[in-house]
Structure 1
Amino acid sequence: MRKHELLALIEQKRQELIQVVAANGLASSVTIKCSKQLDDLLNTYNRKHLQGIHS
């Protein structure tokens, strides 16, 4: 996946999470699932695109 595609997915998931929190609260299972999906996307981005920057 290209960098710009991954960044677009991250932003979409971030916006989705904001909406899910507003509708369901912070502790709902839907919110937690969405948050984990965002974490996975962010971790993928960090592994693929930031790995060599801090070395």
Structure 2
Amino acid sequence: MYYLKIEQKREQMLTLAKTYGLTADVTVQCSQELDKLLNQLQAKMVPFLMK
């Protein structure tokens, strides 16, 4: 589930970057949303990696 959301957000961010540029507010906001998804996935994985 996380992987699909992450991939969709990544594709959205790339499209926004191509359209509006890397520093556009909309691109940065999307990048921050992607960061949150990645952080959530990492938090879920930590217990498995600690074993």
TM-score (norm 2): 0.90
SS in 2 for 1:27: coil
Question: Which structure exhibits the higher relative contact order, with contacts defined as CA atoms closer than 8 Å and separated by 6 or more residues?
Answer: 1
Overall identity of the aligned pairs, in %: 34
Give ranges in structure 2 of 5+ residues lacking alignment.
none
Question: What is the RMSD computed on CA atoms of the aligned residues?
Answer: 1.2
Write out the 4+ residue segments of structure 1 that deviate beyond 6 Å after TM superposition: none
| Larger fraction in helix | 2
Give ranges in structure 1 of 5+ residues lacking alignment.
none
User: Which residue of structure 1 aligns with residue 12 of structure 2?
Assistant: 16
Matched residue count:
50
Cα distance in 2, alignment partners of residues 18 and 32 from structure 1: 11
